[in-house]
Structure 1
């Protein structure tokens, strides 16, 4: 007889010893993590504590971050910032269309991109910007392009905190430019709003390119 659908889809649960074995740690370490608040409380059934796949994922995250040099205190702070973040549905607008490609990351993979600059302060700033969102035990970055560019800037020696601060200012200017072009469209009753997008992007890209030329071009020596 085919098993009941609820039984087939029920999440796996573990006793403490089983969870510790699956995570590759001792039961004593698991108890220490639980007492430090590094993992959520288990489900209680009488005197038995039951853990699930979310607990296992969190333990694997802790192990990955420890391997990358984070301390337990730092991991606890990161977990608090992570747990207070907005969920992916809120940040991505519940499926509204976008040209940007979101990227799913584990906290360890995020640390691979930004190293020891994945701090509670930087994580909170990225969450506030809406660059990062949470989906269960995963982190979602809203844009692969912005993730790649941010990581490249950090590799060039720009602190992540400075990158995020600059991103906030860029957001303000980008919103102003978007308002300018949408007002232009409305004022002149253009027929197809979506045709504005590539045209507006071309104007902004060309003007920004020329602005960079003006800023980066070597200045001639003043004539004596």
Structure 2
């Protein structure tokens, strides 16, 4: 080889943090050095760490290159990937939301950008990604995306499979968020007035049950108008 061997340094928790010269990174990613240079010039990967005249790449660069390959396989263009990368990097990351109260009942889901594309085939655009990031449905963690709720992820994907455009799903999600915040405020005020602070979490299922029952009745009225109540 014409390049030096890869660096290996201990990272957080003693885990080895590997660094690569350009030809080593290209080999690990299964691409040519020329392609790697092209991706770097297009801004599809972050700049390398410079040590004098030597450029060092790391495992984050390798993960990004594998993500690019996965998105290309799924039909995304390089221009589209560049737009997605911009939206992805401008989104809030996990460290930014650690100060917020974590959902007590919703299970977060870790996804690569390629896996997210699989959930919403053809619908993961820079605009939709930015909207999901703005809503707080998605946050970033290094080269991974975290969806804050498996239930919301599954329902959104199901609606898209039924033919509802993802952009419209996200618009509806924003409107539902407004109503949900209002309902949460109503019940927090009600329970706060008549229950001790220690009872609020215990009484939370009652508030959810009222909302679910009222929503079910409202759907009956909307979807089955004129039918007599059973």
- Shift of residue 187, structure 1, vs aligned partner: 2.1
Deviating more after overlay: 189-198 vs 207-216? 189-198
Counterpart selection for 1:215 from 199, 206, 222:
222
Q: 1:200 aligned to 2:221?
A: no
- Which consecutive residues of structure 2, in runs of 5 or more, have no partner in the other structure? 1-8
Moved more, 4-13 or 42-51: 4-13
Deviations 1:71-126 (A, max 9, x none): 00000000000000101133354673520000000000000000111000000000
> Within 2, Cα distance between the matches of 1:13 and 1:95?
36
Deviation at 1:45, TM superposition (A): 1.1
Contact (CA 8 Å) 2:10, 2:17: kept in 1 or not?
Answer: no
Corresponding residue pairs, total: 218
The question of 1:167 aligning with 2:173 is answered: yes
Query: Is the 2:10–2:16 contact (alpha carbons within 8 Å) kept by the matching residues of 1?
Result: no
Distance 1:89 1:45, change over 3 A: closer
**Partner residue in 2 for 1:103:** 109
Normalised TM-score (structure 2): 0.89
**Residue 191 of structure 2: which of 158, 179, 185 is its match?**
185
Report runs of 4+ in structure 1 exceeding 6 Å deviation.
3-7
Aligned residue number for residue 55 of structure 1: 61
1:22 aligns with 2:28: yes
Q: Could you report, residue by residue, the CA deviation over 1:40-74 in whole angstroms, capped at 9, with x for unpaired residues?
A: 00011121110000000000000000000000000
RMSD: 2.0
Residues 5 and 200 of structure 1: is their aligned pair in 2 closer, same or farther, counting only changes over 3 Å?
closer
TM-score, normalization: structure 1? Answer: 0.92
